[in-house]
Structure 1
C-alpha cells in the first residue's frame, strides 16, 4: 500500500453486522426480525431464545462490534487514514436503514461495507447484500439521495485474520495438560448451513460439493494447522466440523456436528481436543452457547479435555487488515494496480460478486454486486 493513505473515492466505511438483543424483553422481537416471513409462532421463538435467556437476554455481539469500532477508529487515526466509520445491523439496533439515513444526512455518497462474515455463502454474503438493497429501496421511497455502495472482499485468507486465530490455537494447546498436549486433535468449527446452500456458494465456477464455503474453510484450517506444526514441531490431526444447525431436520446440513465429533474422537482414543471457531469473527452467542456451553458440557461428560481458542474479535492485527483491505479496494477503484494480501491456495476473492454467486432461495435484489439494481 502507498505511504499516503488515500481512501478516495470512498468517504465512509460501514461496519455491517447481524445484531443481537441487549435485554430479555428484546429477545423475541429480535428473533421475529431474524425469522421474518417464515411464519414461526411466538411460543416457538421463546423456546429458541432460551440460550439468550441463559445470558440475561443479552447477546455479546453488539459490545463486540463496539470494541471493533473502537480499534478500527484508533488504527485509522494512528495511520492517518481519514475515513469515518459507521455501524449498522441487519436484525437489531442500530438498524442498517437508519444508519444509511445517517450517512446520507452527513453527506456520504460513496460507501465501503465491511461485513462481519469472512466467507462466501448466502447467509454470510448475499443476504447482507439483499438487506443493503432493501435499505436503499427504503431511502429511494423517501426521496433521499442514494449512496453508491461497495462491499469489501472476503478476508478469510488475509494475514490479519489468520494470525490471531493461529496464536489462539497455540495458546489453547499450551493450556492443555502436558501429558495430552502433543496428542491433541484440532476441531476447526464453523456454522453449519444446508448442503444445497454450501454447494452453490461462491461464483458459479466454484459451485459443487461444498462450494466455496467449504473450500475456504478448509484452506484456513490447513494454513492454521501447518503454522501450528511449524511453530511447535508437532503435527496435530485436524478436521473441519460444524455447529449451530437450525431448521427442518429432513433438510441435509453440513456435518459432522461438533458434539458428535467430540464423541467420535473420544471413542477413537484422542486424549484432548482444541476447538477453533474459525467461522466466526467474534465470540458472539453461537460461540458462547454452542461451544462454551453445549460442546464444553459434552466434553466434560466424556471426560475429554477440551479448550476453545479465541476468535479474532477486536485484535489490532484484524483492524490493520481492514485498513489494508480498504486501501486495496480504493486503489482498485482508482484504476491502480495492487497486489492483494491473500495467503494459502485460493488467492484473493473477487471485489464484485458476480451473477450467480451464492444465489438466493427466492429471487431478491442485492446491492454491491454485478446484478445490483443500484449501480
Structure 2
C-alpha cells in the first residue's frame, strides 16, 4: 500500500446523493447476460474509466449505476488519485465482478494527469471518462453500441443528458440553460463536423465531457493538453474537429450529470483561474481556426460570448466575498 500525503482534491465529488440506487457490495452477482461474453474482458467494446478523488458515497452511486447497465459489454476501471481514505478503494476492489478493476496511483497526478492515466489505461474500442459523481442510466452502454453501429465513422458521441443537483434532484441552472441554447442552435442533425461544429463549441461548449463516448484511437491519439484542468475537454474536441473528426449527437437521455459547487470547475471559477485558462484556450483556437480559413469559428473564439456571460454572472459572488483579486480577474475576462 502506497504512503500518501494530504493533497488538494483533484476530483472533488463532495455532496450527498438523492438518487435511490441500491448500494453495491462485495459479492455482487454477475448479470446472466455476461455469460454470452464468456467472461473475456478483452472482448469488451466499451471501457468506462472513472478518475476518482472525492466523496465515497457518490463514488458508490456512480459505480452502482455502471453495474446496472442493461448491456453487459463494458469494463469499469476506477483510478484512485491517492484519496486519503483507503476504504473507497477497498470497496471497489471487493466487488465480485471481473469487469470491475481498481487502480491506485503511486502519487497524486491531479485532474489532467489522472485523466491522461485513464485514457492511457483504456484498451476497448470505445471509452467514456466518467465523473466519480455522475450517474449512467441503465441504457447508456446499449445506446452507445447502437449509435456507433449506425455511425461507425463517428469520432465521439454526445448522448442526451439529465442535469441533477448536489442532492440528486433534476436541475436546470443557468449554465445548463445556456448549454441547451447553444446545442439547439447547431444540433439540427445527428452528424456534426468541420467549421460549423468548431464555431458552435467556441460560442458555447454545449457538450458534457463525462458523458461522451469516444473512439479509443481518437482520444489516445490526441490526449489532453498539459496543464489544462477546466477547459481540457474543449481543447481536446477542437483538436479532433480540426483533424477532421466527427461528433454524433444522440438526444436520447442516457446519463445524469451532477452540477454542484464542489466541482473543480466551480471552485476554479471563483478565483478567476478558470477564465484565464479559457482565455488561453480560446486565443489559441482563434489562431488555429483562422489559419485554416475557418473565419466564423475564429470570430466565435475571439468574441467567446458564453464565457464572457459566465464571468459576468460570477461577479456578484466575488463582490459578496470581498474577493478583489477574483473580481478583477473576472472583469479582465469580461473585457478581453
**Larger proportion of strand:** 2
TM-score (norm 2): 0.27
TM-score normalised to the size of structure 1?
0.25
The structure, 1 or 2, with the larger RCO (C-alpha pairs under 8 Å, 6+ apart) is 1
